[in-house]
Structure 1
Amino acid sequence: MTPQEEKTIKKWNDGLSGKIEIELILTEDERSTRFREFSDKLSNLASKLSINQIKDDENQVPAIKVGRSIYYHAIPLEVELEPFLEALTLLDCNSFKLTGEVQNRLDKVKIPAELKLYIAKQCPFCPVSVKQLIPLTFANELIKLEIIDGTLFPEIAELNNIRSAPTVLLDENFRWTGTTNLNEIVEIILNRNPSDLSTSSIISLLKEGNADQVAEMMLDHNCIFPAFINTLIHEKWPIRLGAMVAFEYIVEKNNALASQVINPLWEQFQSVEDRIKGDIIYIFGETGNIEMVPKLETILYSKRCHDEVRDAAREALRKIED
């Protein structure tokens, strides 16, 4: 951190009207050390800023969390310091700059949107893109923004085939490179087909306890979203549990719709671990679909299946027969 950056932070701190809080998410990743060092310096310079450190093994990479839904996978110094401080200022005054037309569109957004903005050091256009996108998260809490330094996390950039900065991804289905077209991004956020929601978007809803919202979206569109299947067979039990809560909600409202999970889950059955097989079999039983009886009987009498899997099949058959 340069003397000029320290001066900028002190001046920004003096202009705050009260205390604000952000979170520092630390992981097993060795780059967490750099985030901690930045956080310590920032805390020493800004007395009105409280930084809560959180150890989170679920996240693979460290982050600075601003508000409800901004995640900085970046050390915001040099040209990125100013937009970072502007984001923190919004926590103090919540006065963001959006045109009335853009705000009206954002008010109509009812399904989650995940934006990823890839930046790089010395990129002259990146700070502009950051400043444009940050207010969206304050205008509608369903919009999540991850700001990722592709030079600090090259493996993530490579995973998303990032070749230049700034690059914006929306739900990993839409991509903009270069100068950000805010109106176009907002328009697509508003008019997306919910069935195109990413797995991570659905997981975010489940983690926040909104399983009923996930279910209602599928009920409203009378289809099971492809990404929802991924949550039913997710390796982490809390995610599967949330997905099953949503599934049971659908069973109560529209059993025929709930039965749409059968074929895609059966296709995945042999490739998953036994503990997940048991959950899949439970779901089959909850559908009450008589067509599942032969498959469940095959599992029940298979010597290759473990006892807990056969027990689950026995219980599912009992559920269907009842």
Structure 2
Amino acid sequence: MDNMTKERIKAWTPLGRPTLGIANTEHPEQKKFETFARQCQEISAAISWRQSTQPAALPGFFLKNNILYSALPLERELLPFLKGLDSLEKPHPVNDIQKTLDNIEAPCRLTLYIALQCPHCPGMVERLIPLAAACEKIYLHIIDGSLFPDKAQEDKAMSAPCLILNDDTRWTGAVAEEEIVDMIVNKESMDLDTKALKTILEDGRAEWITQRMLTTNRLFKGFSGLLLHETWSVRLGAMVVVEALAEKAPALCSDLEKILIEVFSTKDIPVQGDILYALGEIGTPDTRNWIAAQQEALSHEDLKDAAKDAIQSIEDRLNI
């Protein structure tokens, strides 16, 4: 941290006293963020620092639960960072777009790649932090692509600023808040991916997922990923939705059934067991025959029992 940065932090008078969480990771760049936080503490008491317990793949500072800043706010990025901290106290999205933000029903992810020498990046940071501060359904991750080049390459962020919405829609260069919010609101909600649906599920809104699929008579693009997720609690939550779909819209389950059968052999035993359970809830006579054909190849006793139960469930449900 250079002397000019230190002087600017000393001179900053915040609207409140923000509390920032330091993400705890095993990443090689972790110490740089811990050092920056320690230096800030030595310079000024305006910011309260704590160790965050939120999971994070990259080092950074949690400005709020839904805002992770994986960059070191130096040089031209310091001022928008400090302005962003002020917006946490009193979020005031420009041009009176709060009503539009209030119409966002499902969580979304915005990933902004920046670089210290980028002339347009400070403006994007200054626009986006207030948006996420004003709407907890927007999960904002600001990343210094030069500090984390592997992540930038993974996300195909070749220039800065680069803004990515839910891993697909992207903008390069400066973008107006209205355009970003309009895209979030009007983007086809049934395109929600597994990550977004997982967030909704963990918020206790399995019923919302169910009702949206029943209302539109379509599966969410990422729903099957919940049933195949490595985390048991996520699969369990998805099972609740499957049970409701099986009861109220069995025809909607045919596409899901095909996906589960197709990937069955590629999954580990716990996931295979849950696939068999789901197939028991939604399966057809053809599914019953497929499960019966798999039984001989199943070596694990738990899977054999799950297959037997799934067959019985289909037979009972269809009166076979």
Q: TM-score, normalised by structure 1?
A: 0.90
2:302 maps to 1:308: yes
2:69 pairs, out of 66, 69, 72, with 72
- Correspondence for 2:220 among 222, 225, 231: 225
AA in 1 matched with 2:71? A
Equivalent-residue separation in structure 2 for 1:219 and 1:261 (angstroms): 14
Matches within 5 A, 1:163-174: 163-174=158-169
- Whether 2:163 is the aligned partner of 1:199: answer no
Q: 1:39 aligns with which of 13, 37, 40?
A: 37
- Given that 1:79 and 1:127 are in contact with CA atoms closer than 8 Å, whether structure 2 keeps it comes out as yes
2-side partners of 1:278 and 1:292: how far apart?
15
Stretch of structure 1 that moved more, 255-264 or 109-118: 255-264
Cα pair 2:242 2:281 within 8 Å, conserved: no
Amino acid at match of 1:99: N
Aligned partner letter, 1:129: M
3-state SS in 2 of match to 1:277: helix
| Closer/same/farther in 2, CA of residues 72 and 252 from structure 1, 3 Å limit | farther
Query: Percent identity, aligned pairs only?
Result: 36
Unaligned runs of 5+ in 1: none
Which structure 2 segments of 5+ residues have no match? none
Please state how far the C-alpha of 1:245 moved relative to its aligned partner.
3.1
Counterpart residue number, 1:99: 95
Distance of aligned partners of 1:98 and 1:115 in 2 relative to their CA distance in 1, 3 Å threshold: same
Hey, what does 1:20 align to over in structure 2? 18
Q: 2:93·2:134 contact (CA, 8 Å) conserved in 1?
A: no
Distance 1:266 1:174 in 2: 30
- Distance, in Å, in 1 between the alignment partners of 2:241 and 2:41 is 41
**CA distance, structure 1, for counterparts of residue 239 and residue 155 of structure 2:** 30
* Matching of residues 233-252 of structure 1 within 5 Å: 233-252=228-247
1:153 pairs with 140, 144, 148, which one? 148
The farther-off stretch of 144-153 and 192-201 is 192-201
Could you list the per-position Cα deviations for residues 188-224 of structure 1 after superposition, in whole angstroms to 9, with x for gaps in the alignment?
1111111212222122222333322222322222111
- The equivalent residue for 1:278 is 273
Aligned to 1:3: 3
Compared with structure 1, are the counterparts of its residues 174 and 283 closer, same or farther at alpha carbon in structure 2 (3 Å cutoff)?
same
CA deviation map 1:47-92 (0-9, x unaligned) = 2432221356x53222211123111121122211111112211233
Change (3 A) 1:248 1:38: farther
Q: Does 1:266 align with 2:265?
A: no
Q: Which residue of 1 aligns with 2:292?
A: 297
1:317 to 294, 311, 315: 311
**Residue 159 of structure 1 aligns to which amino acid in structure 2?**
E
Tell me, yes or no, if the aligned pair for 2:91 and 2:133 is still in contact at 8 Å.
no
- In structure 2, the partner of 1:54 is 52
Q: Is the 8 A contact 2:88 2:133 kept in 1?
A: no
Residue by residue, what CA displacement relative to the aligned partner does 1:245-292 show, whole Å, maximum 9, x if unpaired? 333343444333244411111111111112110010011112254432
Of residues 236-245 and 268-277 in structure 1, the stretch that sits farther from structure 2 once superposed is: 236-245
Matched positions, count: 316
2:157 to 159, 162, 166: 162
Deviates more, 1:175-184 or 1:248-257: 248-257
User: Over aligned residue pairs, what C-alpha RMSD do you find?
Assistant: 2.0
Secondary structure at the counterpart of residue 81 of structure 2: helix
**Is this contact kept in 2: 1:299–1:310, CA < 8 A?**
no
The one-letter code matched in structure 2 to 1:314 is K
**Aligned amino acid, residue 307 of structure 1:** E
| Contact 1:63–1:72 under 8 Å retained in 2 | yes
Q: What is the Cα deviation at residue 241 of structure 1?
A: 2.5
| Equivalent residue, structure 1, for 2:80 | 83
Instruction: State the Cα distance separating 1:30 from its structure 2 match.
Output: 1.7
1:92-113 deviation digits (Å, cap 9, x = unpaired): 3x2423212x333222221222
Tell me how far apart the structure 1 counterparts of residues 122 and 131 of structure 2 sit (CA, whole Å): 15
Measured in 1, the distance between the counterparts of 2:160 and 2:226 equals: 31
Q: Post-superposition shift, 1:299?
A: 2.3
Matched, 1:179 2:174: yes
How far has the Cα of 1:319 moved from its partner?
1.9
